[in-house]
Structure 1
Amino acid sequence: MTNPLQPNQLQLKHAIELKNVRKVYRIGKEKVVAIDDVSLTINKGDICCLLGTSGSGKSTLLNLMAGLEKPTKGTIEIHKIPIHKLNERQLTRFRQNHVGFIFQSYNLLPTLTALENVSLPLTFRNVPKKIREQRAFAMLKAVGLESYVLHKPSQMSGGQQQRVGIARAFVTKAPVIFADEPTGNLDSKTTNDVINLMLNIARENGQTMIIVTHDQQIATHANRVITISDGNILT
């Protein structure tokens, strides 16, 4: 029997495929269409930007692609794995092994050091502590924070916290990285540094990255821009 969490071992061209995806929320007696019949293919290694204003549906689309929400209709595959068919336990395992996340609000655990925050995803993979710490330190060094390994989030600036978040997302070498407004809380100079850092790591590792943003300037860094408005893809 085929394991739904294991992709076909043949060389895959597409990282993500959506077909006729629709997401409808019920608010009282009303239906709100957040995503309206979207079909989309993203190739392996693409740096793709989902561009749109607040309320356009871009974050909902990212959540659907990441398996954080279920579509009302349609199919979603990552590396040929039909994530729309997976139950919650399977989705959790899938995200642990295939996906990395970078958040606008950093989402670091305040009681943990930078090293502990970065090594956390490896804990869920049952990687031995010594190896976890070696990999976490190597990633913190890669993002320029080797002297901050024992600092907690409250002891770091916003830009430094986001670098920790980037290190955490990349430490497992997940094939797909999702970044939801990753520079929304940063100033313009730090934004540029953080975007370049993310893209350099993703390109070096051949990873697919999906960035959600409303910032046209950030979109210029991507090799593909998908504009979303009212739950529909415009380009």
Structure 2
Amino acid sequence: MDITYAIEIKNARKVFRIGEEKIIALDDISMNIKTGEICCLLGTSGSGKSTLLNLMAGLEKPTKGSIIIHGKHIEKMSEKQLTNFRQKNIGFIFQSYNLMPTLNALENVSLPLTFRGVSKKAREKAAFTMLKAVGLEKYIKHKPTQMSGGQQQRVGIARAFVSKAPIVFADEPTGNLDSKTTQEVLQLMLSLAKKNRQTLIIVTHDKSIATFADRIFYILDGNIEKVEVNHEESRGTSDEA
């Protein structure tokens, strides 16, 4: 059976230079993530998990190796090409929400569609539909400072999913939330990703959050220490890392 990969990483290495010092953030990583799969990059602070996410998202270029998203080598793209590629293919959910403080919830969620040239009427309709899906239809005119942390993260989730980007990256998405809100936010992210068959990559240091994923990639000292399969639908892919 042919497997369609959303992300293919081949022998990725990332070295940062600070003065005379050479820091190896990622050593030699190879892994594949299937289209529609929910994966978690799990590791402690400094393990390299965020650097790995940045390579996948095209925010950093590898020192060596290939990063292939939907068949395209993004490590060979210019900054302009990467920007256009991200707008069409990638959604982001951040730990600190990263909402525009001067914009209300509806405007924040519709922002990615603005960059795509969608008409104001169409993007506001799509944004309202997403805010309703995350339970915030009564808060569309609220600005970030008028909402709780959990509500702000729901706006962030709506923004990441509104354009139905094939891939969504979530970097410590529940780091600022209490345990009850964390569960609600995770369930929301998973249900939206599965509904639209989007690939979801969650970066976290929390093992309890990782258990929501189909596969967990344990990152340690810039390497994949092991891969754990959580759900039966992902079996047959654990040897791909």
For the aligned pair, the TM-score class normalised by the smaller chain equals over 0.9
How far 1:12 moved relative to its partner?
A: 6.6
Which runs of structure 1 show a deviation greater than 4 angstroms over 4 or more consecutive aligned residues? none
Residue 14 (str. 1) matches residue 5 (str. 2): yes
1:41 counterpart residue number: 32
Give unpaired runs (5+ residues) of structure 2: 227-241
Question: Does the 8 Å CA contact 1:15/1:44 hold for their aligned counterparts?
Answer: yes
2:53 aligned partner, one-letter code: L
Match of 1:135 among 90, 108, 126: 126
1:93 equivalent to 2:84? Answer yes
Q: Match for residue 225 of structure 2?
A: 234
Taking structure 2 as the reference length, the TM-score comes to 0.92
Pair 1:106-2:92 in alignment: no
Q: Does 1:71 align with 2:46?
A: no
- Correspondence list, 1:168-187, <5 A: 168-187=159-178
Which one of the candidate residues 16, 28, 31 is aligned to 2:22?
Answer: 31
Q: C-alpha root-mean-square deviation of aligned residues, in Å?
A: 0.8
Name the CA distance, whole Å, in 2 between partners of 1:133 and 1:65: 30
Question: Shift of residue 124 of structure 1?
Answer: 0.2
Q: Which runs of 5+ in 1 are unaligned?
A: 1-10
Percent sequence identity is: 71
2:144 pairs, out of 143, 147, 153, with 153
Match of 1:8 in 2: none
Contact 1:12–1:79 (8 Å) recurs in 2? no
1:217 aligned partner, one-letter code? S
Separation in structure 1 between the aligned mates of residue 165 and residue 3 of structure 2, nearest angstrom: 15
For the 8 Å contact 1:115–1:140, the answer to whether it is kept is yes
Match of 2:191 in 1: 200
In structure 2, the residue corresponding to 1:36 is in which secondary structure? Answer: strand
Indicate the residue corresponding to 2:215 in structure 1.
224
How much does 1:28 deviate?
Answer: 1.0
Q: Which of 52, 55, 60 is matched with 2:46 structurally?
A: 55
CA distance in 1, matches of 2:130, 2:3: 27
Inter-partner Cα distance in structure 2 for 1:206 and 1:164: 20
Question: Amino acid of the residue matched to residue 146 of structure 1?
Answer: E
| CA deviations over 1:175-196 (Å, ceiling 9, x no partner) | 0000000000000000000000
Amino acid at match of 1:134: K
SS at 2:118 equivalent: coil
Aligned residues: 225
Amino acid at match of 1:215: D
Kindly state the Cα deviation for residue 159 of structure 1 after the two structures are TM-superposed.
0.2
State the SS of the aligned residue for 1:111. coil
Q: CA deviation at 1:99?
A: 0.3
Residue 98 of structure 2: SS of its match in structure 1? coil
Alpha-carbon distance in structure 1 between the residues aligned to 2:110 and 2:34: 29
Q: Partners in 1 of 2:36 and 2:115 — Cα distance?
A: 25
Cα distance between partner residues in 2 of 1:216 and 1:87: 36
The amino acid of 1:203's aligned partner reads K
Question: 1:191 — aligned with what?
Answer: 182
Quick one: distance in 1 between partners of 2:127 and 2:72? 28
Structure 1: distance between partners of 2:27 and 2:37: 24
The Cα of 1:142 is off from its aligned counterpart by 0.3
Q: Distance in 1 between matches of 2:112 and 2:34?
A: 25
For 1:100, give the aligned amino acid. G
